[in-house]
Chains A and B, each alone.
Chain A
Amino acid sequence: MPYNTWFYLLPFLGTSLLIYYLMPPRHRWTVLLCASILFYLIASGKLILVLAFTTLVIWGGALRIEAHRKTYLEIKDTLPKNERKEHKARMERQNGRVVFAACVIILGILFFTKYYNFVGSNLNLLMESLHIGARIPALRLVMPLGISFYTLSAVSYVTDVSRERCPAERNFFRLFLFLIFFPVITEGPISRYQQLGTELKTEHRFNYQEFCFGAQLIVWGLIQKVIFADWLNRYVREVFKYYKNYSGIIVILGMLIYTFQIYMDFDGCVNIARGSAQMFGIRLTENFRQPFFSTSAAEFWRRWHISLGAWLKDYVFYPISLSRFFQKLSKACRKHMNRYYASAVPTSAALLGVWLGNGIWHGAEWKYIFYGIYYYIILFASRMLEPVFDKICAKLKIDRKRKAWHHFQVARTFVIVNIGMLIFRAENLGAAGYMLKSMFVPWDAGEYGSLLRWSKIECNYAAAVWAGMVVAVILVFFVGLAHEKGIRIRESIAAMPVCLRWAIYMGAVLAVVIFGAYGPGFGEIDFIYAGF
């Protein structure tokens, strides 16, 4: 159930809030659980059983881990020192096996539902080229809602329990709520039990300011999604679907507009999710922090889809780089390389797993895998060539502390990100290559010259849409700039006189109603990341 539907925003969220605040605080979590189950049943029906099974696996796994630890702690003091180490190592091995088994099961469900047909079709191609007669049959698989998001949360929970970062949850239903919590189930943020689990356990009392801030965040999310992102969908769809008809400026515009569209769409969804949770008094983590102010691709990924980047760092990068093989590699590098490369080479090698994981997570297509590799190559090259760049800058006497250099870095990152987005959105890898080449072919308007007027796609508001887009970009830029400077816009508005404050809030709601790209002629434009 998309968050930008009437049903979600009014009867569903409204009734949930009402019942939630009418309940005594200690029972309020059960309202959230019931609402989340209802939300999931409406969206995915009986596939809720898959989610329940995942919960069961991590619930049982975490209790087992804690039982092993308890047994060790009980006998720890009675053991002589030399045996303590041995028992501890045994306990860690046992827990490692539990984490491994749980991860195999829950990641296995994700891989089966999401990647079976992709792997099958590629193996079939391989067997065909090797003249092997066998074929893997294609299956009609339906993915449970939010599986890519809740699976990662489930992995993080069971791993964190084994790492003693959080205690095992004894109540199955509380853990179920952590995974199924309706504001995060569709597009995240990918939650950690230490944060969201604790928030869900806390008895929240009604807080007028939190309630209002939540509602404001929802309205801002709706503006981002329904006004900024959805109006652009027609242009993006046209350019990326019929890419062979276009070249030059039209393709460049298509790429830039898509980047803006996906940012507004994803950030808008997360803001609606965060706002919904905040109305219940629950804080969710940020998923975006002004990504287009980044000065490098690495920084971009610390600001864009923050929860995914952090997850990959904690549960892919660290386990790889702390593995025995990488310890040996690191040792070897220290022997044969200078200090910089001895640190950079193993780190960069471990990052390959992170970027492949990032690419594959987005979808079962080669273009997504290439998307991950694209970022890996850029980050690898920038790390390896950093000493060279330092020398070049020193020779050219470039002052890297100057603002101009900072702006150059932001612009360079912007170009890198946009090329990545083109690969991400293109029909396939071939289409991405074609579009990248066609950008350099001058645009011959001819038959499709009307696209700039948006009329090819039967839009009667061409001038208004272009003007609106410019206004939107400027608005988003200044909102981002304010956040960069640490200005809290919601708090600034809250400090205004009531008439002005209410005028702003009402203006925002009316803007969504009047200018929103919804209703006849638009259809329902799903949140882009809900498809992953």
Chain B
Amino acid sequence: MQKRSEDGDFEKNRAEIMSNKKAAGRILSFLGILGILLFGLSRASVLMNRSVHPLFNYATSGIFAEEKESIDVLTIGDSDVYSGLIPAKLWELSGITSFSWGEPAQRPPETYSYLKKIYQEQNPQVVFIDVNHLFRDEKLSDNLDSITRAAIEKPFPVVLYHRKLDSFQNFLAQDYTITKGYLYRDDAKKPKMKKNHFKETGKITAIHPITRWYLERSVELCRKNGSSVVLLYIPTYKEWTYSNHNAVMELGSELGLPVLDLNLEMQEEIDWGTDTADYGYHLNYSGAQKVTDRIAKYLEDNYDLEDHRGDPAYQRWQKDSEAFRGEVEKEILEKERREKERQMQGA
């Protein structure tokens, strides 16, 4: 009796294991097919993230269309980066090749992940790490979510570019960009100005330890590849605070990194009435030109980077820079024409 009962249990367990194995097989097949579909969508989303209009083709994937190890200066961070630094102008000013890598709302774990990918193709001598994105994830759960997202984005970038999936015309766009990551914007929308915006304070914004850890890993990666790292705070009226500045200064001294806070340094030069595209969040073309001038000067003063202008190997950069200028001029003329038309309609 006992034996039969044991046999019965054994049979039951065996059947359960078999059915569990079958279930696991089904689940894995389902996930496999789903993975393939997501991979296909991801590929499409990366292609649609580009633009057929050369002036608005600022996709970060453009860096991988550049010649290997041809970029001298890399700026990496969130939307402030693609709004605030014009590589074509930097070339015009100093003959330095650069790329502005910024994804909207980019987080430090993503920065680290992107840097690893970039270093497979490029070896910039100077890397500016934008610090605005160090203040985004304040809570542990936010940081863990950012780490997860950074991991998912690698095989499935559709989670990053899913809103671009309706731009079918961009299938025809090119990987290679003349903007080198910069997004042209000419709107000027003034923010609500605060009286004590730049007033000094002793307060220091806390940077979450996980955020800091990822920044340190990024810095370590850059140093290992022989790049000099600079912590850069691109002007942003809405998001900059004096306590953020203090936190960045403290971080810079602890990590032995130079800090370039252009919010404070350029407070006289940046006119928030004319230099921001969206009420103080991001710079427009006018503001970005000023920042690029300042960066060119900073690089000239602190680094011995080669001026490639006139070097036949860099002819394409000269052409791209001219093409960019041409596109900007066309856009300005187009805007003036639209303005006149509107005025005439109004009259």
Contact = CB atoms under 8 A, between A and B. Distances in A.
Contact of A42 (B16, B144, B152, B162): B144
Contact of B165 (A514, A520, A524): A514
A45 B147 CA distance: 19
Given A42-B140, A208-B26, A7 B37 contact: no
B141 A43 contact: yes
A524 B144 CA distance: 14
B148 A6 contact: yes
Interface stretch (A164-172, A347-355, A406-414, A502-510): A502-510
Contacts of B26: 208
Nearest to B142: A524
B16 A205 contact: yes
Contact of A5 (B16, B33, B41, B141): B141
B141 A10 contact: no
Which of B19, B38, B158, B162 gathers the greatest number of chain A CB atoms within 10 Å? B162
Contacts of A515: 162
Interface in A202-217: 205-206, 208, 211
B142 to A, nearest CB: 8
A519 interface: yes
Given A6-B149, A510-B38, A516 B141 contact: no
B159 A510 contact: no
Contacts of A524: 142
Contact of B163 (A2, A7, A519): A519
B303 interface: no
A510 B103 CA distance: 23
Contacts of B104: 519-521
A37 interface: no
Nearest to B105: A520
Nearest to A11: B148
A208 B23 contact: yes
A83 B162 CA distance: 75
Which of A43, A502, A514 has most B Cβ within 10 Å? A514
A45 B141 CA distance: 11
**Interface residue tally on B, bucketed by range:** 20 to 34
Contacts of B267: none
Contact of A514 (B27, B79, B152, B162): B162
Contact of B19 (A5, A6, A208, A520): A208
Given A513-B158, A514-B162, A521-B104, A206 B23 contact: yes
B336 interface: no
Nearest to B22: A208
Given A6-B145, A208-B23, A502 B33 contact: yes
Contacts of B162: 513-516, 519
Contacts of A45: 140
A450 to B, nearest CB: 15
B105 A519 contact: yes
A52 B278 CA distance: 47
Interface in A1-15: 1-2, 5-7, 10-11
Nearest to A41: B140
A-side interface size class: 20 to 34
Nearest to A523: B105
Contact of B37 (A10, A43, A506): A506
Interface string A330-358: 00000000000000000000000000000
Interface string B138-161: 001110110111001000001110
Contact of B38 (A11, A513, A519): A513
Contacts of A1: 141, 144
Interface in B8-29: 16, 19-20, 22-23, 26-27
Contacts of A6: 145, 148-149, 152, 159
Contacts of B159: 6, 513, 519
A283 B88 CA distance: 60
A515 B158 CA distance: 11
B31 to A, nearest CB: 10
Given A42-B140, A505-B30, A506-B34, A10 B148 contact: yes
Interface string A182-205: 000000000000000000000001
Contacts of B37: 506, 510
B65 to A, nearest CB: 23
A185 to B, nearest CB: 13
A205 B13 CA distance: 11
B342 to A, nearest CB: 16
A340 B285 CA distance: 76
Contacts of A2: 141
A137 to B, nearest CB: 22
A20 to B, nearest CB: 13
Contacts of A208: 19-20, 22-23, 26
Contact of B34 (A11, A509, A516): A509
Interface in A260-293: none
Contacts of B16: 205
A7 B41 contact: no
A7 B30 CA distance: 21
B250 to A, nearest CB: 24
A205 B16 CA distance: 9
Given A513-B162, A514-B165, A516-B162, A42 B141 contact: yes
Interface in B154-189: 158-160, 162-163, 165
A361 B24 CA distance: 44
Nearest to B143: A7
Nearest to B278: A458
Nearest to B79: A520
A214 B37 CA distance: 22
Contacts of A43: 141
Contacts of B30: 502, 505-506
B267 to A, nearest CB: 27
Contacts of A506: 30, 33-34, 37
A521 B163 CA distance: 10
A5 B23 contact: no
A138 to B, nearest CB: 20
B27 to A, nearest CB: 8
A499 to B, nearest CB: 11
A206 B22 CA distance: 12
A513 B22 CA distance: 28
Please indicate which of the listed interface residues B19, B33, B105, B148 has the most CB atoms of chain A within 10 Å of its own CB: B148
Question: Which residue, A1, A5, A6, A509, has most C-beta atoms of chain B within 10 A?
Answer: A6
User: Shortest 7 CB-CB distances between A and B: which pairs?
Assistant: A520-B104, A208-B23, A6-B148, A1-B141, A7-B145, A520-B105, A7-B148
Interface of B: 16, 19-20, 22-23, 26-27, 30, 33-34, 37-38, 41, 79, 103-105, 140-142, 144-145, 147-149, 152, 158-160, 162-163, 165
23 contacts: A2-B141, A5-B141, A5-B148, A6-B145, A7-B144, A7-B145, A7-B148, A45-B140, A206-B23, A208-B22, A208-B23, A502-B30, A502-B33, A506-B33, A510-B37, A519-B105, A519-B159, A519-B160, A519-B162, A520-B103, A520-B104, A521-B104, A524-B142
Given A42-B144, A519-B162, 7 more contacts: A7-B148, A10-B152, A205-B16, A513-B41, A513-B159, A521-B105, A521-B163
